[in-house]
A = this chain, B = another copy of it.
Amino acid sequence: MEKKIITISREFGSGGRTIGRRVAEELGIPFYDKELVDQIALESGFAPRFVEENGEHSPGLSRLSYAFAPQGVPGVMNGLSTADFLWNIQCGVILQLAEKGPCVIVGRNADYILKDRTDVMDIFIHAETEFKAHRIVSLYGESEKSPETRLAEKDKRRRVNYQHYTGRTWGAAQNYEMCLNSSQLGIDECVRIIVDAYKISQEMK
Chain B residue numbers with a CB within 8 Å of A26 are none
Residue A173 at the B interface, CB < 8 A? yes
Chain B residue numbers with a CB within 8 Å of A126 are 173-174
**Are B177 and A204 neighbours in the complex by a CB distance under 8 Å?**
no
Residue A41 at the B interface, CB < 8 A? no
Residue A200 at the B interface, CB < 8 A? yes
Interface residues on A, range: 20 to 34
Given A193-B193, A193-B197, A204:B176 Cβ within 8 A: no
Residue A181 at the B interface, CB < 8 A? yes
Query: This chain: how many copies in the complex?
Result: 2
Residue A95 at the B interface, CB < 8 A? no
Closest to A204 in B: B186
Given A197-B193, A200-B189, A204-B186, A174:B174 Cβ within 8 A: no
CB pairs A–B below 8 angstroms (30 shown): A1-B184, A124-B173, A124-B179, A126-B174, A169-B172, A171-B172, A171-B173, A171-B174, A172-B172, A172-B173, A173-B176, A173-B179, A176-B179, A176-B181, A177-B180, A177-B184, A177-B185, A178-B178, A178-B179, A178-B180, A178-B181, A178-B185, A185-B197, A186-B200, A186-B204, A189-B197, A192-B196, A193-B193, A193-B196, A193-B197
